[in-house]
Amino acid sequence: MQIAVIGMNQDTAPIHVRNRVAYVESEKIELTTQLLDAGINELVILATCGRNEIYICDYKAGMDNQASIVIDKLSRFFDFPDLESYLYYKKGDEAIRHLYSVTSGLDSIVLGEDQILGQVKEAHHLAMELGASRKILNQLFREAITTSKRIKTELRISEHPMSISYIGVKFLLNKMETFNDKNILIIGTGKMGRLALQYVMENNPGKVYMTNRNHEKVVDLRDRYPDIETVNYNDKHDLLSHVDAVITATASPHHVIRKEDIPEQHRALYILDLAMPQDVDENVVEMKNVVLYNVDSLNKISVENERKRKELSIKANTYIDEKLNVFNTWMVSTKVDPTIKSLNMLRVQVENDTLEYLHRKIELDNKQKKLVDKMVASSLKRMIRNPIMKLKEIDDEEKMHHYLDVLNDLFNLEGE
């Protein structure tokens, strides 16, 4: 068995490429189904504003072939023949270590980003619902989440707000110099939109307008932020002549602001697009007084992040190495499961045959039958208990395979 990841992130693909392979929920489900039908044993799709990754598990030691299937399916699914040139492919320990780093926020644009842990959990949950993540990836993702929590707690890398929304609002504030007396429109009430609203409100803005396709979600925010003004989603473009900045973070598969939606601007209009795929048509930059920033713009402030990343990664890698060894030991132990299962099936078959013969040949009352059943079952379980325990304790993979071959051959088992 082997683990691998095929994907792209902000380091390997520019935002216009990542836009082309950004998923909506229905596409994740459709692609997962296609990959399972194509013979991928287990998989989890992780798609965020900065990355698009597919984690897979191969049971038959043919990982390179499985990875080729994934790349081919991805290219066809998004009608993107050159997609492979933007992808990375990691397998074995490198793939496992990568997931641990991603989940811990060590591989994010924003070091220690809080949102990524929730996104990993959601990706894994969807894969489990679809039957795509089973024994191996379930264990891997549980270990990654546990490792992330330990790293965040002990290294305190998320002690301060470090979400994309926080960095984006801070970035925008630096560009605008102040939010005082500035009118700001926020589009989207998902987690990123709500966080953006929180950080904007902490910086004493002028008027803040909030809109969302589902208007009830905007109204609900009034309980916490009574000073915001709610706007019907269809009226959002009418405000573009009256606001100084727009922050947008929806899950829309299409642009929510196009060039033709923006009237002529007589003062600067700053737009911060935190969505993936992008909410804003990039052609708006051709307009006078319109300034557009997106997720990739935040890379320009990552120098300090990179210094901190190197310092914390040294410490975090100690934890990751420890958990990596734990997971690898567990995964090796799963190789004995088919043989143990076959051995137990043989035991049950012998038990049933023996009891059937005894009950046919000897007249026993119900109490005596139960006693005989219990004794036979207990004796047969005791006979195979030690071999099973020994198998589970072996940490030498070569020795383990030797024992498995001997057992399978001697007892004519069907274990691998």
Domain ranges of the chain: 2-160+304-328, 164-288, 336-410
Q: Which amino acid is at 85?
A: S
Query: What is the pairing mode between strands 88-91 and 42-47?
Result: unpaired
CATH hierarchy code of domain 164-288: 3.40.50.720
Q: Is the pLDDT of residue 345 over 90?
A: no
Q: What integer pLDDT is reported at residue 309 of this predicted model?
A: 65
The residues that are catalytic are 49
- pTM value is 0.66
Summarised one tens digit per residue, pLDDT across range 210-239 is 999 999 999 999 888 999 999 999 999 999
Band of the pLDDT at 111, cuts 50, 70, 90?
Answer: low
Which phi and psi angles does 390 have, rounded to 5°? -60, -45
Which range has highest mean pLDDT (114-118, 185-189, 350-354)?
185-189
What secondary structure letter does DSSP report for 109? Answer: S
| Domain covering 2-160+304-328, topology | Beta Polymerase; domain 2 (3.30.460)
Q: What integer pLDDT is reported at residue 408 of this predicted model?
A: 78
With a CB cutoff of 8 Å and minimum separation 6, the contacts of 213 are 233, 250, 252
Contacts 24+ apart (CB under 8 A), 70-79: 70/6, 70/35, 70/40, 70/43, 71/6, 73/31, 73/34, 73/35, 73/38, 74/6, 74/21, 74/31, 77/27, 77/30, 77/31, 77/34, 78/20, 78/21
Q: Among 76-85, 146-155, 301-310, 396-405, which stretch is predicted with the lowest mean pLDDT?
A: 301-310
**Residues 109 and 298 sit within 8 Å (Cβ to Cβ):** yes
Mean pLDDT of the chain: 88
Q: Is the pLDDT of residue 160 over 60?
A: no
Summarised one tens digit per residue, pLDDT across range 370-385 is 998 999 888 888 888 8
Domains 2-160+304-328 and 164-288 share a fold: no
Which ranges of 362-396 would DSSP assign to H, the alpha helix?
366-393
CA-nearest of 216, 211, 218, 215 to 237 is 211
Q: Is the pLDDT of residue 45 over 70?
A: yes
